[in-house]
Amino acid sequence: MSTTGSNTGGTPGNTTGSTARGAEETRRALLAAAGELFTSAGYDRTSVRAIAERAGVNQSLLFRYFGNKEALFAQVVAAQGLDVLHGGPPEELLERTLRSILHRDGEATGGLFDSALRSAASSEAVDAVRDELGSAYGAAFADLTGEAGGGGEDAALRAELLLGWLLGINLLRNVFRSEAVRSADPDVVVGHVSRAAGALLGAVDSDLCDS
Amino acid sequence: MSTTGSNTGGTPGNTTGSTARGAEETRRALLAAAGELFTSAGYDRTSVRAIAERAGVNQSLLFRYFGNKEALFAQVVAAQGLDVLHGGPPEELLERTLRSILHRDGEATGGLFDSALRSAASSEAVDAVRDELGSAYGAAFADLTGEAGGGGEDAALRAELLLGWLLGINLLRNVFRSEAVRSADPDVVVGHVSRAAGALLGAVDSDLCDS
DNA sequence: GTCGCGGGTAAGCGATTGCTTACCGTGAGG
DNA sequence: CCTCACGGTAAGCAATCGCTTACCCGCGAC
């Protein structure tokens, strides 16, 4: 689409000048803006007007390209789930996740975890969140269970218990800002969590006996 | 306050008949209704109108007796925190909490944990939640840490890590309704959690070395 | 009788929200 | 020229929300 011609900015329906950029770019901007806001404010406290403003477009485009707010949310958390999967090798996911939780500074917000925690009360959001958490973390954590990893008895259950723990740690440290875990040395936290995770997953019993 | 006289129900300002019952009873009804709704729907998705209707009074009474929604929420979670403290001896708190999470049926909701989880995105609610969680669980869990309990190194941190875990388990099982933990035998879950909690709290190291 | 107190109600305000509708400009094709 | 498709905007609808205001009634004291 050509953008030749003078900028008549402000005219209703105006697509000349800097506001017209193509459906893909607009869609991308909306997804990015929504991702940031759903993560920091959650589903209910993120309005479609705020998303559109942040993306630099009119809010009706959100409905044109995504159908409704709920569908946009689902696409945001799906993208956040892919970010988890593409963030590194599965066997490092536990440590990577834990460190990203513990090295969060100030008002910074994360991805899928924060969207999930801040949207827990939103019935429209819950299914997408549960499914993405499962896709992003389920298999990788299940593979950590058993004597030598690779899956063991109750693998899925133990994977979920581990996931719940990480969500809870993130909740207390970065959402509720609870004092002890917030002020603790991250390495100390990693030490305690790793030890207990070992007991939960059954992967490092021999190391535990050395302690 | 006497309720003699005919019931002229429906008249603005009418206090005859069954609607006038005394400040304490009204306050109590509002607290109970708010407790149920904040627990099942969270702060943002609970309207003052819904609370008042559930309590059987006009919504302006909520503002008369509690000042505003935020203050009412703080009183609700304070009461829920007391419920935790009065629910039994501190040394049984871990198991009691875990079982109440795991034996939750259908749409039933709990107390402080559910209010907390479903209000995480509400800035007005977060401070009250954090403080009540700390009061209700902090000391009891800290006393479980160390070789023989009674507190140990990093007691407060480990207590919080344990609290985070329980919150996370409740979140996945009862809010997100994640499949594995939801369908698991509660005793199996208790087994895994107790083993790992033992490693976290340092209470049963010798047992772990036997495995 | 009046007045004040306390408990109660309905109505309404200003703001916000997800979503819809009407309209515009541009470029391509007939 | 016209029409259509596409990407874009502003305005507005109906509903909801926390909170406020105006009013009522019963009762006891004076």
Torsion, Cα of A48, A51, A56, A57 (10° steps) = -30
pLDDT higher than threshold 70 for residue B204: no
According to DSSP H, which parts of B56-178 are helical?
60-66, 69-85, 93-102, 112-117, 123-133, 139-142, 155-170
Which of A104-113, B17-26, B158-167 is modeled with the greatest confidence?
A: B158-167
User: A132 contacts in B (CB within 8 Å)?
Assistant: none
> Looking at residue B20, what is its pLDDT?
57
- Banded pLDDT at B164 (limits 50, 70, 90): very high
CA–CA distance, B41 with B131 (Å, rounded to integer): 20
Q: Could you report the per-residue pLDDT of A52-74, keeping only the tens digit for each?
A: 999 999 999 999 999 999 999 99
Contact A166, B168 (CB under 8 A): yes
Q: Are the C-beta atoms of residues B44 and A46 closer than 8 Å to each other?
A: no
**Contact between the CB of A123 and strand C at under 7 Å:** no
Summarize the confidence of residues B128-143 as an average pLDDT: 95
Q: Give the mutation candidate from A77, A176, A194 for the B interface (greatest B CB count, under 10 A).
A: A176
- The answer to whether B92 contacts chain A (CB < 8 Å) is no
The pLDDT value recorded for residue A8 is: 35
Token reading at A91: 């066997």
Find out whether B162 and A192 touch, Cβ atoms under 8 Å: no
User: Vertex B201, ends B205 and A134: CA angle to 5°?
Assistant: 105
pLDDT (0 to 100) of residue B147: 65
Q: State the smallest CA–CA distance between residue A121 and chain B in angstroms.
A: 5
CB burial of residue A33 (10 Å; 0-12, 13-18, 19+): buried
Q: For residue A205, name the pLDDT band (cuts at 50, 70, 90).
A: very low
Could you give phi then psi for residue A177, rounded to 5 degrees? 55, 50
pLDDT digit string (tens) for B12-60?
444 433 455 789 999 999 999 999 999 999 999 999 999 999 999 999 9
Helices A186-201 and A155-170 cross at an angle (nearest 10°) of 160
Interface contact A178-B130, CB threshold 8 A: yes
Whole-number pLDDT of residue B5: 33
Which residues in chain A have their CB less than 8 angstroms from residue B176's CB? 116, 120, 126, 129-130, 133
Average pLDDT, chain B: 85
N residues, chain A: 211
Q: Do A157 and B180 touch (CB under 8 A)?
A: yes
Task: Give tens-digit pLDDT for A116-136.
Answer: 999 999 999 999 999 999 999
Residue A173 near residue A100, CB atoms below 8 Å: no
Contact B147, B208 (CB under 8 A): no
- Please give the structure tokens belonging to residue B71: 């203050």
Interface predicted TM-score (ipTM):
0.88
Distance CA B91, CA B30 (A): 33
pTM over 0.95: no
User: Which residues in range 28-87 of chain B are in contact with strand D, contact meaning CB within 7 A of any of its atoms?
Assistant: 45-50, 59-60, 63, 68-70
Residue A2 scores a pLDDT above 50: no
Residue B3 has pLDDT above 50, yes or no: no
How would residue A6 be classed by pLDDT, with cut points 50, 70 and 90? very low
Please list every residue in chain A whose beta carbon sits closer than 8 Å to the beta carbon of residue B115: none
Higher pLDDT, B111 or B145: B111
Instruction: Tell if A65 CB is < 7 Å from nucleic strand C.
Output: no
The CB density around residue B22, as the number of other CB atoms within 10 Å, is: 9
